Structure 1
Amino acid sequence: MKIFTQAVGVLLVATALLLATAMPPATAATTYTPTGGPAASFAATGLSITLVEPEQTITCTKMSLGGSVLSPGTSRAYGADGVSLGSFGTTGCNHHILGPTAVTALTTPTFAVVGDSTGGTWPARMKNVVWAVHWPNCDLYISGVINGRFDPAAHSFLPNTGAVGLTIASTPAPPTGSFCVTFDFQAGDTVALSGSFLSTPPAGSTNLSIANP
Structure 2
Amino acid sequence: MRRITRLLATTALALGLVATAAVEARAGTTYTAAGGPSVRLVGSIVTITDVPAGQTIACSQYDVAGRVIDPGAVRSHGTAAADLGALTSQCVHPIVGNLTSTVDPGWTVDVTGPANGTAWPARLSGVRIRMVGVGCDLTFSGTVPGTLDTATQRFTPTPAASTLVLTAVAGGFCVPLDFQVGDQMSFGGYFTNVPPTGSTALSLS
What is the TM-score normalised by the length of structure 1? 0.84
Q: How does 1:158-177 map to 2 (within 5 A)?
A: 158-169=156-167, 174-177=168-171
How far is 1:77 from its partner?
0.8
1:80-115 CA-to-partner distances (Å, cap 9, x unmatched) read 111111311102x11111111112112321111110
Partner of 1:40 in structure 2?
39
User: Which amino acid in structure 2 is aligned with residue 65 of structure 1?
Assistant: V
Percent of matched pairs sharing the same residue: 35
Structure 1, 33-42 or 155-164: larger mean CA deviation: 155-164
Partner of 2:181 in structure 1?
187
Structure 1, 51-60 or 176-185: larger mean CA deviation: 176-185
Q: Does the aligned pair in 1 maintain the 2:128–2:140 contact within 8 Å? A: yes
1:101 pairs with 2:67: no
How far is 1:20 from its partner?
5.7
Q: Distance in 1 between matches of 2:73 and 2:138?
A: 38
Which of 151, 154, 157 in structure 2 is aligned with 1:153? Answer: 151
Q: Distance in 1 between matches of 2:117 and 2:81?
A: 21
Partner of 2:136 in structure 1?
138
How far is 1:120 from its partner?
2.0
1:29 pairs with 2:28: yes
Partner of 2:113 in structure 1?
115
How far is 1:117 from its partner?
0.3
1:208 pairs with 2:198: no
Q: Does the aligned pair in 2 maintain the 1:48–1:59 contact within 8 Å? A: yes
How many corresponding residue pairs?
A: 198
Q: Distance in 1 between matches of 2:16 and 2:147?
A: 36
- More strand per residue: 2
- Aligned Cα root-mean-square deviation (Å): 2.3
User: Which amino acid in structure 1 is aligned with residue 48 of structure 2?
Assistant: I
How far is 1:36 from its partner?
0.4
Structure 2: stretches of 5+ with no match in the other structure: none
How far is 1:19 from its partner?
4.1
Q: How does 1:70-81 map to 2 (within 5 A)?
A: 70-81=69-80
Partner of 2:172 in structure 1?
178
1:198 pairs with 2:196: no
User: Which amino acid in structure 2 is aligned with residue 38 of structure 1?
Assistant: P
Partner of 1:4 in structure 2?
none
What is the TM-score normalised by the length of structure 2? 0.87
User: Which amino acid in structure 1 is aligned with residue 130 of structure 2?
Assistant: A
Q: Distance in 1 between matches of 2:12 and 2:70?
A: 43
- What secondary structure is seen at the aligned counterpart in 2 of 1:195? strand
1:129 pairs with 2:123: no
Structure 1, 182-191 or 159-168: larger mean CA deviation: 159-168
Larger radius of gyration: 1
